[in-house]
Chains A and B, each alone.
Chain A
């Protein structure tokens, strides 16, 4: 995937978004995007349809991030792409599926601060052959909106704060647990068992490319929830939530 631009601020922004995923030159290319600027507004051309809202730098970076991910998903339809975070410890990964605003990034950042290696905070490619999660270490960012339910318009804003990473996982890792996070203002962190059929349906809801796999995805995810422990995690404090998960899965460090 190549993005070219004569606007240094665009390239700098992209480098910040995908800092852990950059290579100087690619052996093969999934797609190309070109960004130019005219009359104070940016324009994107290339392998994806990019609909800018206001043509500002924040807008173009948001659209570029989405387009890059879209092109990569199209380039690897053999993978099952999930809307999820993931983090690993001792060669095992926990999968954190959830819609935006549910605390995936917050939880991943909290676990990363506790020694877990970062795989992704939003996009997880799953290799259905090996069962491994492939790292997608886009730069994590969290919303800072403490103590209240985040309104929908807040979720749409590019108002995230970058998180410094302690460790990044660069090798595929098998998933060993699934946790569905749910940010709920004013609640103490609580991790409870999630019934397998419910877990499977929720995982299906978070497939970006279900149509590439159809019933194969259903079969695979049903198998996954039978093999792995599945939990729901409600929380308002990301640190306490990460602590709960780390404590529950503490045995992993010894293996």
Chain B
């Protein structure tokens, strides 16, 4: 990871992305954080570091909350509902954005879709 040559992507929850083939945008998918990813908490944000690829990603507070709920047990639907309870809004209202965030985390190799 050196100077101008290095290009690292950051997860943004609201980005519009096409649907992914791996099913991570399905409400029934059970995304799981990958073991090799190291977490560094910075206030309500997270920096995720992948030693093998020497890549680092910054997650804002929303993305960090989603990441933390990706335990391989909760479905994308469950994650949306839990975040909705926390934010005081219906889970369905968050489902599209949560699905998208999970898909982006999967695309970056940070979570496994199950």
Contact = CB atoms under 8 A, between A and B. Distances in A.
Given A83-B4, A205-B8, A207-B2, A196 B56 contact: no
Interface in A180-216: 195-198, 200-201, 204-211, 214-215
Contacts of B2: 207-211
Given A197-B42, A197-B58, A204-B56, A218 B4 contact: no
Interface stretch (A170-178, A219-227, A243-251): A219-227
A65 interface: no
Given A201-B57, A219-B40, A222-B40, A99 B49 contact: no
B43 to A, nearest CB: 6
B46 A83 contact: no
A43 interface: no
Contacts of A210: 1-2, 6, 54
Contact of A215 (B49, B57, B60): B49
B3 A208 contact: yes
B47 interface: yes
B10 interface: yes
B19 to A, nearest CB: 27
Given A204-B56, A208-B2, A222-B47, A198 B40 contact: no
B18 interface: no
B38 interface: yes
A155 B36 CA distance: 38
B1 A226 contact: no
A160 interface: no
A158 to B, nearest CB: 17
B103 interface: no
A231 to B, nearest CB: 15
Of A100, A197, A211, chain B has the most CB atoms within 10 Å of the CB of A197
B45 interface: yes
Contact of A200 (B3, B4, B42): B42
Interface of A: 83, 99-100, 195-198, 200-201, 204-211, 214-215, 218-219, 222, 225-226
Which 5 pairs, one residue from A and one from B, show the smallest C-beta to C-beta distance?
Answer: A197-B58, A197-B45, A196-B42, A210-B1, A222-B40
23 contacts: A195-B43, A195-B58, A197-B40, A197-B42, A197-B46, A200-B42, A200-B56, A200-B58, A201-B8, A201-B10, A205-B7, A205-B8, A207-B1, A211-B1, A211-B54, A214-B54, A215-B49, A215-B51, A218-B56, A222-B42, A222-B47, A226-B42, A226-B43
